[in-house]
Amino acid sequence: MKTIEEVLKKLDEIIIWSKENQSPVGYFACTYRIMTAQVLKGIQQKKFEDNPRMTLLDLAFAQRYLEAWDNYSKGKKCTQSWYIAFEAAKNKNLLILQHIFLGMNAHINLDLGISASSIMPYRKINPLKKDFENINNVIASINQKVQDSLNKICYPVDLIDKISNGKDNVVLDFAISKARETSWATAVIASNTPQFLRESVINIVDYAAAKVASQIINPKLLTPALTKELKKCESSDIVKNIEILSSTKNI
């Protein structure tokens, strides 16, 4: 892939597949498509220090997700954190937000840092730091849009939204910003690691991300009984849910 527009097309294909197969895989794919479109918009509006470099980062970043999905779909090996996220689509007890967070965990905690190090020269990652941080601002701008979609899918979320005057999307903000702090540390470590040891670094970070994924699936704050009650409040129509999440993709 040479353009972000091609990435968006690939994401559309995953979303279409998810609808045809009624798979929760589409929940993260929708969220990621919105984020990718917003980053493209930021590049077009020259919001980054080095916009061509940001295009390279976005392409490298997307490639890891698309390759992981392609490998998983064909029964080939993919990173453990992505395997857990994709396998979770078979778990009918998980909340929509858990599916989205599983994707964010693998993609941001693992893929982003590795992608950032891959487009910069050995031991010269620091010039990328400001643009890396700028992504936070671009992506944070879409969080309320995603929240609005979730409100339509799960009415307790709508209630929380009204009580908090729309500030409950800080959960999404927090999850993304904390993950990005971790991913920058990964980028620095990977950038300072010789090429022949790079795969070992990826495996270590993947192992840590897989541990986080396990906590997302079995969170300490949510008992199975509470999760079950929340699940009852969600729309069980996966196709409709994906369409609602997709409705914000052209913002």
Q: Over the stretch 179-218, which tens digit does the pLDDT of each residue have? A: 777 889 999 999 999 999 999 999 999 999 999 999 889 8
C-alpha pair distances (Å), 105 with each of 44, 168, 175, 210: 27, 20, 9, 9
In a domain, 139, yes or no: yes
pLDDT of amino acid 168? 46
Portion of the chain with pLDDT greater than 90, in percent: 62
251: confidence class by pLDDT, cuts 50, 70, 90 = very low
Which one has a higher pLDDT value, 144 or 250?
144
Q: What pLDDT is stored for residue 225 in this prediction?
A: 77
pLDDT at site 248: 58
> pLDDT of 29-49, one tens digit each?
999 999 899 999 999 999 999
Q: 97 or 30, which is more confident?
A: 30
Of the CA atoms within 13 Å of residue 121, those in its CB half-sphere come to 2
User: How far apart are alpha carbons 239 and 22 in whole angstroms?
Assistant: 6
* 217 belongs to a structural domain: yes
Query: Mean pLDDT throughout 4-28?
Result: 97
Q: Which of 1-10, 22-31, 94-103, 161-170 has the lowest mean pLDDT?
A: 161-170
**Which residues constitute the domain of residue 179?**
4-246
Q: Mean pLDDT over residues 43-62, rounded?
A: 95
Residue scoring higher pLDDT (141 or 233) = 233
B/e letters for 68-82, b = 16+ CB within 10 Å, e = fewer, are bbebbeeeeebbbbb
75: left (phi over 0), alpha (psi -120 to 50) or beta: left
Please state the domain count of the chain. 1
Token couple for 167:
């500030």
- How does pLDDT run across 98-130, given as a tens digit for each residue? 999 899 899 989 999 999 999 999 999 999 999
Q: Quick check: is 172 in a domain?
A: yes
Residue 41 lies in a domain: yes
Q: What is the pLDDT of residue 182?
A: 85
Confidence check: pLDDT of 244 > 70: yes
User: 58: which 2 tokens?
Assistant: 């976005």
Q: Is residue 251 part of a domain?
A: no
Residue 65, class by beta-carbon neighbours within 10 Å (0-12 exposed, 13-18 middle, 19+ buried)?
A: buried
Residue 32 pLDDT: 93
What are the φ/ψ torsions at residue 234 (nearest 5 degrees)? Answer: -85, 150
Give the pLDDT of residue 80.
98
Question: In the structure, what pLDDT confidence band is assigned to residue 79 with cuts at 50, 70 and 90?
Answer: very high
Whether residue 115 is contained in a domain is answered as yes
Residue (of 215, 239, 233) closest to 157 by Cα position: 233
Stretch (H or E) spanning 212: helix 198-217
pTM, full prediction: 0.87
User: Contact at 8 Å (CB) between 143 and 169?
Assistant: yes
- List pLDDT tens digits, range 154-184: 655 554 444 445 444 555 565 666 777 788 9
pLDDT score, position 163: 42
